[in-house]
């Protein structure tokens, strides 16, 4: 099953590569904005996106993001992905 997780873009990290930092339920992860870069990248800061394998696949509204996160939590599917992201972030910090 492919799983897209809602995340909020909090900063542009590398404009040349169209990369940004996204907050996914308190876990920050760098993602590619290339699939949604139909506007200036700075305009995406604060927007919610659907993230799949490190790519922001679509811009979604805040209500859709909240509803999706709640549904995924209810199913228990998001927690596994969030745990993996947190472990990856922790490993990077330890380097």
For the segment 57-95, what is each residue's pLDDT rounded down to a tens digit? 999 999 999 998 888 777 776 567 777 777 777 776 776
* Model pLDDT, residue 71: 85
Distances from the Cα of 81 to the Cα of 17, 36, 71, angstroms: 25, 22, 14
CA angle 93, 18, 34 (to 5 degrees): 115
Rounded to the nearest 10°, the torsion over CA 8, 24, 50, 31 is: 80
Q: In terms of CATH architecture, what is 5-90?
A: Roll (2.30)
Local confidence band at 2 (pLDDT 50, 70, 90 cut-offs): low
Enter the tokens of residue 67. 């509803």
Give pTM, 2 decimals: 0.76
Q: pLDDT tens digits, residue range 41-60? A: 999 999 999 999 999 999 99
Residue 12 has pLDDT above 90, yes or no: yes
| 58, HSE (Cβ side, Cα atoms, 13 Å) | 8
């Amino acid at each position: 099953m492919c799983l897209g997780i809602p995340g909020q873009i909090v900063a542009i990290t590398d404009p040349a590569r169209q990369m940004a930092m996204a907050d996914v339920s308190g876990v920050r992860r760098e993602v590619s904005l290339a699939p949604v870069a139909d506007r200036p990248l700075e305009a995406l800061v604060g927007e919610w996106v659907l993230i799949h394998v490190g790519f922001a696949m679509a811009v979604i509204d805040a209500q859709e993001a909240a509803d999706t996160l709640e549904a995924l939590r209810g199913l228990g599917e998001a927690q596994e992905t969030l745990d993996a992201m947190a472990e990856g972030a922790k490993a990077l910090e330890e380097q």
